[in-house]
Structure 1
Amino acid sequence: MSQYESLFTPFSIGNCEIKNRFVLEPMEGTNIIDWLQETKFRGNEVHDYYIERAKNNIGLIIPGMIPLRSLLQAKWLPDHPEVFKDVKPLMDEIHSYGAKVFFQIGAGWGRALTANDMFQKINGNRIVKEICKPILNMDKLLISASENSNRWIDTLKHRELTKEEIQEFVQGYAIVAKYCKDAGVDGVEVHAVHEGYLMDEFTTRYTNHRLDEYGGSFENRYRFAKEVVEAIKEKCGKDYPVSIRFSVCSKTKGFQKGAVPQDHSYIEVGRDLEEGIKAAQYLEQAGYDMLNADNGTYDAWYWSHPPVYMPLNCNLNEAMEIKPYVNIPVVCAGRMQPDAADFAISEGKLDGIGIGRQFLTDPETVTKILENREEDILPCISCHNVCLPVALNPKKGVALDGESASTQGHCALNPVTFAEKKYQLKKTEQPEDIAIVGGGIGGMCAAILLKKRGHNPVIYEKNSQLGGVFIAASAPSFKEKDKQLLKWYIRQIKELNIEVHLETEIEQITNLKEEKVIICTGAKPRNLHIENSIEAIDYLKGTEVGNHVLVIGGGLTGCEIAYDLALKGKKPVILELQDDILKVKNLCMANSTCLKDLLDYYHVPVYVQSSFVSWDGKRATISTPDSDKIILCDSIITSCGYISDPLNITKDQKRKYDRYTKRMKNRFKNKLPEPAYISMENKKVYLLGDCNQVGNLKTVIWSAYDLAYKL
């Protein structure tokens, strides 16, 4: 039995008993009903994902939100009962493992609609707007509790929802809830008084300026949510369970302004804790059977989608604050950890642990907790690189390229998620000795997979320990899960008895005895040749710095270093050539906004469109758009990007390798292509990770899977 006994006790939502306290939270890209773009049940794409997690002891599964109105063509879900015709077999199969399922139904995004400049162009031209209406109906999409600016593009306006439209939504919830009940779904969750979505915009004063019965007083602002549960209960029966997604506190200073956890003096413009307690009681009285709780709005998005910079269990205190005031179950989500949840549940301060991204990373999480094998859990590191790569361009709105959009809801650390058919680990019929030059994350990942397939990988690492650049990357105090990930990889290498040669630098590939060689030697930093400056990796490995530190480079690494310096009481300054910091492709806005807000909270000066001029050891001169400035500076850290370093591969060999790789990628979009290799005497040489193309953990790990599954 698990050391966390409370987590494996049953609890009830209305008359629906859940076998344990684990709740799989709804996430973008995990919908069972793919209603955003077309009318269909997603079928096989989600079947394996949910069955694998049901098999692994999750008590309650809540798939991603089903909006009542589709994004494209503005289809109205209550008019399409046929969408649910294939749901029941999946429900029956999930039930066979003892799990229960609630479908989450939502009125939509309101001003949080992820808009880009295309929306702006369409909405700003009356003729184009009319032509596009059959595909993108702006009048149906750009709605809010009152007239409000879009969260992403200030100049894009959302109109006030009419009372007739509110009632249409109220009845729509009830009709779709009945479809769910008839399809064998155990209950529904109303989306929600949560995260600043449409219904939540009615509840908060800073987004609701209505003068009718849906605005003004507390009861008026929560009327929409009350009427929805009443309509569902009338349609489906009093005993049909209805949960509500509920943000206890908004943690919001104003439009596009969140409050970081360290800020205890901000003025709340949304729902504070006092109102959160009152709202929890009101929603229970209205008829809701569970509060699925967290904090935040889209203006303070990092509370609802906490990145690595947010504390573990970041929403737990507020969830526990409301528990004494209600008699219905309270579940909490937000980087939740089993030890904290077990303690809270055992003390009667919480009823369930809500987990989202961790279940993307490791579907066996609950099973491993049950079997006291926590060290075997592949940890989520809250990177959002793949599950939610919603980047923000201040001028263009939400920027999400085609590849990122197609894999949203997947996992950077585990490409098998939502691709179980593609990545089926099969034993090789021809075991081989395969050399791996470089023992970073990419090299270790490839070695683990090759070993599991029956090959004999051998790792050659020039340093005294495995981990490569990730040792430095995981160094800051807020990288607890990165450190845990590194330990997980090293443990796997040891458990699988993979041969490792440390302090072994390979100068000539041709000297290796293995006929197949994977090079994963990483990248080398760009050198600015500033005398006595410190490169980012050297700082992260422990090189001492002074009190006044100039960080040259405002990318992700540079900004994280500046934050780390601020936490240590130093006085960092960021210098960036571009017009903004953190201009990183597919860096989720929850991550970038949180880091920016933290830098602002610690008063870290940021100079953009600026460059380094000189340094005398005590002061640095920098060039800004306005003038040259002199700043106190007793240390300089450079973080200006990295260049691929593929050992002794020639430029011509690399060009041919890249051409083949690109051709195969275009030809095999949904299957694993044959990997490119470089012939070198009697060897086949493969490039993996940053030594091939500088990327992130997603590109390294996914490439390792693609390569290891084909060798």
Structure 2
Amino acid sequence: MNAHAPTVSYETLLSPVTVGPRTLRNRVWMLAHATLLVKDHLFTDSHVAYYVERAKGGVAAITMEAMAVHPTTQPYKGKAFAFDERMVEQYRKIAGPVQAEGSLLLMQPWHRGRQTNSVANGLPVWSPSAIPCAVYREMPHVMTAKDIDDIVKGYRLSARYAKEGGLDGVEVAGLAHGYLIQQFLSPAINNRTDAFGGSVENRLRIVEEILAATREEVGADMIVGIRMNGDDGHEGGLRPDDWADIAARLEATGMVDYFSVSQGTYINRMLIYPTSPEIHGFQLPATAKIADAVTVPVIGGGRIVTHAEAEGFLAEGKCEIVGLARQLIADPAWVRKAETAAEPIRPCVGANWCMSSIFAQAPIACIHNPAAGAETELSDTLLEVADVPRRVAVVGGGPAGLRAALTAARRGHEVTLFEARSRLGGQVRLWAEADSRRELVEIVDWMIDRLAETSATVRLDTRIGAAELREMGFDAVVVASGAVGLKHGWTPLRPGRWIDGSAVPGADQPHVYSYIELLETRPRLPDSVVVFDALGGRQGAVVAEYCSRVGAAVTFATQLGQASPDLAASRDWGKVHKMLRTLGVRFVPDVELAAIGATTATLRDVYTGEATDVPAGAVVMMVGAAAADEVFHALDADRGSLSLHLVGDAMSPRRVNDAIREAEIAARAI
């Protein structure tokens, strides 16, 4: 049975709760998070559809993504401006359909303070003191009394337009994650000597002025909440007892209907949105201190994934409402599934592809929910049964093949999936061999379980060819046969060597592996291993971890300036490097692989040409992969009326989300 399938009733989770002047139909709140679906400061149809999908899924309340209260906070072009009167019509556009589904809708006014830069808007960043952010490192402008007044005015206008736009409430933001208001509150950042610095009362002054302005604008009929930290988690910052005291002081103003609690700042962003592995509900011990200190409802979050987890945390009194973001990106119908027990949830696996997508200035996405951010195209509610059922072959049982087979079967096609290996799951199952990536296996396990509920036929240990597929008379073929890891040893710095078919001297020895080969065969490793990574993604980190945990001393070599730099997008670069260094992994950047001997590897500095030998009883290469597309090209040479599709790594070796999305689109086209 799927581990996420509901087996009990969720009495507390599904019970109503009063928040200020409104009643929530259950205790699930969708937390604010960036979508990049807003364009030119205005809502798009995709933005509206994103929230409506979660409202249909049963969430009780939705806080939309943070919106700027002042022009000085614009991390990218087009960010929604909450202080712009045009937002009134924008709110009306989204409030109607969301509220029609039974969900409350709130907006979140916010300012990033020093945690941004001036690139997008050409304006200096603002902060209470001249201390730069650890990530952006831009020296901020020290805010004047007039600047503070302007910020308060921005919050006031934001509240006014929220009311005029028909929203249900305002969640005052900036007290969490190290943003502007939290910068005023933090003794580690605020060194002012005026009325907004020094004592707790002075540091709270800006919050109280914002709350007073907000409540004055929205009146008693709308909800006013606060998004705040429960723990800054860094030296000199505010800790749980401090935040509990702040919450009690703010509740005493009589202007706050709820607190939504998170953790962390840009000094330690893995406290905000940690990747796997992380204890589910890790933020709740600190949140519980705030819940004990106040009488209004408290929203708690922190990698809550399953219904049972949520029910348990509520029953323990850690919070009164559970806040979800990434889990609702993965499965917008999470609440409905708790109500009906009709289908197990699609779990958030903590891959943080949602963060990586935003980092690339692309719309919100999920590693295994292809409809996330594309609800107007790929929502499950838009999946249509085929007019004419067809016989469909899917070649390959990795994430692309599983998604293609599942969607095609759900559309009523007669599907046969052929997998050459004895197990389904492809490379995802291989990555899950590393302790830090074990949750990834739930991507393929969820699809395997859902596929078993259809009439699709799965044939394992079956390597199928083009001639056999033709003989079997399929109407459509989806080729999702994956890729084969390369081990020639060349980096992209030497493209000509990729063409001439040569390899780094010694690369043909039996103790040299591609990363796919290593994880698939899991050979007994010697005492020393060189992991050579030319890609810069997660592959090198996963292989280095795996080799270290089985007892090898690992040298992680790369021609890049640092190991696995692409992990900056998922925000866990520091977390992964800490783990690898703790395991004893040695990093050697700025080198190419020059030669491989029986017990050593020669590394050459890419700038000076200086060569150094390092111990290497085995060498594992991440230099790319070759698409296993032979079946596709053989069929394509004489396609005729065959509906033929090439997806995933067989199209071009990339990422899991690419494979799943392409497969979904292909299956809908049959």
Normalization by structure 1: what TM-score?
0.81
CA–CA separation in structure 2 for the residues paired with 1:75 and 1:248 = 27
CA–CA separation in structure 2 for the residues paired with 1:502 and 1:678 = 27
The Cα offsets for residues 153-178 of structure 1, whole Å up to 9 and x where unpaired, read as 43x33211211111121132123213
CA–CA separation in structure 1 for the residues paired with 2:296 and 2:248 = 9
- Secondary structure of 1:558's counterpart equals helix
The answer on 1:361 being equivalent to 2:330 is yes
Match of 1:212 in 2: 194
The Cα offsets for residues 277-335 of structure 1, whole Å up to 9 and x where unpaired, read as 32232332344322211111122112212222433323222212332222222212221
- Secondary structure of 2:370's counterpart equals coil
Unaligned runs of 5+ in 2: 1-6, 488-506
The answer on 1:149 being equivalent to 2:132 is yes
Match of 2:122 in 1: 138
Describe how 1:250-649 pairs up with structure 2 within 5 A.
250-252=232-234, 268-286=235-253, 287-337=255-305, 338-373=307-342, 376-386=344-354, 388-391=356-359, 400=360, 405=361, 407-423=362-378, 424-509=382-467, 511-512=469-470, 513=472, 514-527=474-487, 528-541=507-520, 542-546=522-526, 548-553=528-533, 555-566=537-548, 571-584=553-566, 588-612=569-593, 622-624=603-605, 628-629=611-612, 631=614, 634-648=617-631
**Quick one: which amino acid aligns to residue 24 of structure 2?**
I
Match of 1:688 in 2: 647
Q: Is the 8 A contact 1:2 1:369 kept in 2?
A: no
Report the CA distance between 1:430 and its aligned residue: 2.9
CA 1:678 to 1:366, structure 2 compared with 1: closer, same or farther past 3 Å? farther
The Cα offsets for residues 618-658 of structure 1, whole Å up to 9 and x where unpaired, read as 665544578655555554433332121212566xx99xxxx
**Quick one: which amino acid aligns to residue 569 of structure 2?**
C
Match of 1:259 in 2: none
**Quick one: which amino acid aligns to residue 316 of structure 2?**
E
**Quick one: which amino acid aligns to residue 186 of structure 1?**
D
Report the CA distance between 1:352 and its aligned residue: 1.4
The answer on 1:67 being equivalent to 2:68 is yes
CA–CA separation in structure 2 for the residues paired with 1:689 and 1:509 = 22
Match of 1:703 in 2: 662
CA–CA separation in structure 2 for the residues paired with 1:565 and 1:225 = 50
Q: Is the 8 A contact 1:28 1:388 kept in 2?
A: no
Stretch of structure 1 that moved more, 439-448 or 544-553: 544-553
Report the CA distance between 1:478 and its aligned residue: 3.1
Report the CA distance between 1:189 and its aligned residue: 0.5
Report the CA distance between 1:608 and its aligned residue: 0.5
CA 1:341 to 1:425, structure 2 compared with 1: closer, same or farther past 3 Å? closer
CA 1:531 to 1:388, structure 2 compared with 1: closer, same or farther past 3 Å? closer
CA 1:570 to 1:222, structure 2 compared with 1: closer, same or farther past 3 Å? farther
The Cα offsets for residues 51-73 of structure 1, whole Å up to 9 and x where unpaired, read as 33222221111111121135389
CA–CA separation in structure 1 for the residues paired with 2:77 and 2:403 = 43
Report the CA distance between 1:370 and its aligned residue: 2.2
Match of 1:225 in 2: 207
CA 1:185 to 1:270, structure 2 compared with 1: closer, same or farther past 3 Å? same
The answer on 1:3 being equivalent to 2:6 is no
CA–CA separation in structure 1 for the residues paired with 2:413 and 2:169 = 47
Report the CA distance between 1:547 and its aligned residue: 5.2
**Quick one: which amino acid aligns to residue 213 of structure 2?**
A
Stretch of structure 1 that moved more, 54-63 or 544-553: 544-553
Q: Is the 8 A contact 1:389 1:587 kept in 2?
A: no
- Secondary structure of 1:472's counterpart equals helix
CA–CA separation in structure 2 for the residues paired with 1:349 and 1:470 = 34
**Quick one: which amino acid aligns to residue 377 of structure 2?**
K
Match of 2:20 in 1: 14
- Secondary structure of 2:141's counterpart equals strand
The Cα offsets for residues 224-250 of structure 1, whole Å up to 9 and x where unpaired, read as 222211222233335642211112112
The Cα offsets for residues 35-91 of structure 1, whole Å up to 9 and x where unpaired, read as x733x3x25323333233222221111111121135389999576434213534643
Report the CA distance between 1:421 and its aligned residue: 3.0
Aligned residues: 630
- Secondary structure of 1:458's counterpart equals strand
- Secondary structure of 1:700's counterpart equals helix
Pairing partner for 1:95 from 88, 96, 99: 99
Alignment RMSD (CA, Å): 3.0
**Quick one: which amino acid aligns to residue 517 of structure 1?**
V
Q: Is the 8 A contact 2:83 2:154 kept in 1?
A: no
**Quick one: which amino acid aligns to residue 85 of structure 1?**
E
- Secondary structure of 1:421's counterpart equals helix
Question: Structure 1 vs Structure 2: percent identity of aligned residues?
Answer: 23
Q: Is the 8 A contact 1:384 1:587 kept in 2?
A: no
Normalization by structure 2: what TM-score?
0.86
CA–CA separation in structure 2 for the residues paired with 1:465 and 1:214 = 62
CA 1:289 to 1:635, structure 2 compared with 1: closer, same or farther past 3 Å? farther
- Secondary structure of 1:637's counterpart equals strand
The Cα offsets for residues 363-408 of structure 1, whole Å up to 9 and x where unpaired, read as 11111122235x62122223333454355xxxxxxxx3xxxx3x42
Report the CA distance between 1:482 and its aligned residue: 1.6
Match of 2:89 in 1: 85
CA 1:82 to 1:355, structure 2 compared with 1: closer, same or farther past 3 Å? same
Unaligned runs of 5+ in 1: 120-135, 253-267, 392-399, 655-676
Q: Is the 8 A contact 1:30 1:63 kept in 2?
A: no
CA–CA separation in structure 1 for the residues paired with 2:268 and 2:483 = 35
Q: Is the 8 A contact 1:113 1:151 kept in 2?
A: no
CA 1:569 to 1:336, structure 2 compared with 1: closer, same or farther past 3 Å? farther
Stretch of structure 1 that moved more, 87-96 or 622-631: 622-631
CA 1:237 to 1:428, structure 2 compared with 1: closer, same or farther past 3 Å? closer
The Cα offsets for residues 184-205 of structure 1, whole Å up to 9 and x where unpaired, read as 3221101121111122222223
Q: Is the 8 A contact 1:525 1:643 kept in 2?
A: yes
CA–CA separation in structure 2 for the residues paired with 1:390 and 1:50 = 17
**Quick one: which amino acid aligns to residue 525 of structure 1?**
G
CA–CA separation in structure 2 for the residues paired with 1:568 and 1:289 = 52
Report the CA distance between 1:599 and its aligned residue: 2.9
- Secondary structure of 2:440's counterpart equals helix
- Secondary structure of 1:62's counterpart equals strand
